[in-house]
Amino acid sequence: MTATYQLRDYQRRGLDFIRAFLARGLRRIMFYLPTGGGKTIAAEAMICGAVAKGLRVLFIANRKQLVEQASKHLARAGIRHGILQGENTRSLDARVLVCSIDTIHVRGIPNDVGLIIIDEAHAVAGSEKYRKLLFRYNRVPVVGLSATPFSAGLGKHYDELRGALFQELVVGATISELIELGNLVDVDVFAPAEPDLTGVKTQRGMGGETDYNETQLAKAVDKPSLVGDIVAHWMRLARGKRTVVFSTNIPHSQHIVEAFKAARIPAEHIDYHFTDDERAAVLDRFARGETTILSNVGLLAEGWDCPATECMILARPTKSLIRFIQMTGRVLRQHDGKTKALLLDHSGTVVRLGFPTDDLPLELDDGNADKSGSRQERKKSEPKPCPKCKFVRPAGVHACPQCGFAPQRQSDVEIQDGELVRLDRKKTAASRFEKAATYCGLLQIARERRRSEKWATHAYREIFGVWPRALPHVDGKPSADLRKWVQHRDIAYAKGREKAQQDALSPVEGRARLAALMAPLDGGKVVIHG
């Protein structure tokens, strides 16, 4: 190991915390650094320190491209390593192995491993392969790296581990801190002035104010529609800037590229059907500046870095804060001559999820919020007949091996007339004080009823559709309407449990139980607003 590192203060501080937690006997630590914060450098420093102590280290990723990227970083740092990944496996005697979780799931890992580092570790909670790995090697220290460590279940308790999946979250630095330090750039956001709320009725909400009907509002802003002409807005607001586009689906991405080409702007599309060589060629042309517009669906959200990218076009609505932060992180990296990034949001996502530079919900989710049960992993694909020749294609095969037909999904994206306007972070946060008052009230109710702070957090999300993020401090008592909403929520939950129990009872017993449950409401005339 010849690599030496000049770690930034926040990186060094984060590694010190990790060492302290491991010294206390903890085994699974999540390390948060925003995209561009130097997770790879911190990981390399951990690897060198572990090897110097005689330990063997595994660096694990969940995608082929991430394995390749990690290997290149280690090679540039002068760290000798092997690879454990399908047919690409080599140098298994090395003290450091860069591994694919898919290959490890089949082959297992060496017995003398002393440290496991997991890249993009927010994926661990939803992956059976990762969980089985941690269950089997539960005495080996694990450090997870992530820029979005708020997946459901990352802090969930498992009997196989005698503790949580990840036991502690170490925050190296926040996005706003890195912007202040000059390690990331800030971002200007242009988005629809307001969504199309035609037909959405109003009602009296909590605090007595008049607001949109929550259910109808959710439907109105959840349509797969985009506001404004993408090319025209880019020409007006970002002309000449190297731009990555996140589209709704492959046909939509291809359509956007054709529209830019028609305007004589160099543009290319990329997707998972491309071979490694084709993909590398497309990314290289973009990195060299030969291509100005690079469009994809979700391929470039993780594991792709091109700091020269100044602009991002968000042409796909999303409710996922993780996906949103991963995508916008592509344009926040520092680069020569780059003072600010630019986000053209045609989907209205920023209005729903907040600015990408806002503070994030940095806590490990214990998995208890989903009352309907744990998340199910994606179902395995099944063999399907070819639409053209009816030959049954094997599972996961896109192009028919018999006739070569490769079905293309048709884009169903609706483009609405409209203009994007610059969002003022202060104005978009004007209602934050109302939201803060609601959250403060929920916290007080939680204390009164001996419930956890997470109960208040998830109740807030039910009301507003987003997590409580960077809210100002306010004082005050819960409003009467808020208390009624909580009462209604508790009654609905109790009724749900009662119904589940009465399914096992006779019809007569079931009706009697339900009548007893509803009896306290007959004279109370509880009215719920919102």
Task: Identify which of 317, 339, 490, 328 has the alpha carbon closest to the alpha carbon of residue 415.
Answer: 317
Give the chain's end-to-end CA distance (angstroms, integer).
Answer: 61
Q: Specify whether the CB–CB gap between 33 and 173 falls below 8 A.
A: yes
Which position has the higher pLDDT, 111 or 435?
111
Highest mean pLDDT range out of 169-173, 377-381, 430-434, 465-469? Answer: 169-173
Domain ranges in the chain are 9-174, 177-353, 429-522
Task: Identify which of 111, 167, 175, 180 has the alpha carbon closest to the alpha carbon of residue 147.
Answer: 175
pLDDT score for 372: 32
Q: Specify whether the CB–CB gap between 202 and 213 falls below 8 A.
A: yes
pLDDT score for 158: 94
Burial of 76 (0-12, 13-18, 19+ CB in 10 A): exposed
* β-pairing verdict for 168-171 and 186-192: unpaired
pLDDT score for 402: 63
Q: For the domain bounded by 9-174, which CATH number is listed?
A: 3.40.50.300
Residue 11 has pLDDT above 70, yes or no: yes
Question: Can you tell me the distance from the alpha carbon of 43 to that of 77, in angstroms, rounded to the nearest whole number?
Answer: 11
Tokens 């809210």 found at? 471
pLDDT score for 289: 94
Highest mean pLDDT range out of 113-117, 410-414, 448-452, 518-522? Answer: 113-117
pLDDT band, very low/low/confident/very high, at 219 (cuts 50, 70, 90): low
Q: 285-305: string of b/e by CB count within 10 Å (b at 16+)?
A: ebbeeebbbbbbbbbbbbbbe
CATH fold of 177-353, please? Rossmann fold (3.40.50)
How high is the mean pLDDT of the chain?
A: 79
Question: Can you tell me the distance from the alpha carbon of 271 to that of 249, in angstroms, rounded to the nearest whole number?
Answer: 10
How much is the average pLDDT of 227-254? 88
pLDDT band, very low/low/confident/very high, at 518 (cuts 50, 70, 90): very low
pLDDT score for 514: 46
pLDDT score for 166: 95
Residue 339 has pLDDT above 80, yes or no: yes
Which position has the higher pLDDT, 404 or 124?
124
pTM: 0.67
Q: What Rg value do the Cα atoms of the chain yield, rounded?
A: 26
Interval 485-495: pLDDT, tens: 888 888 877 77
Could you tell me the two tokens for 377?
């992993």
How much is the average pLDDT of 262-282? 93
Q: Specify whether the CB–CB gap between 357 and 312 falls below 8 A.
A: no
Residue 239 has pLDDT above 70, yes or no: yes
Residue 140 has pLDDT above 90, yes or no: yes
DSSP three-state, residue 135: helix
Interval 373-426: pLDDT, tens: 333 333 344 445 566 654 455 555 667 766 777 766 555 455 455 667 776 665
Whether 9-174 shares its CATH topology with 177-353 is answered yes
Strands (E), 222-292: 225-227, 243-246, 267-269
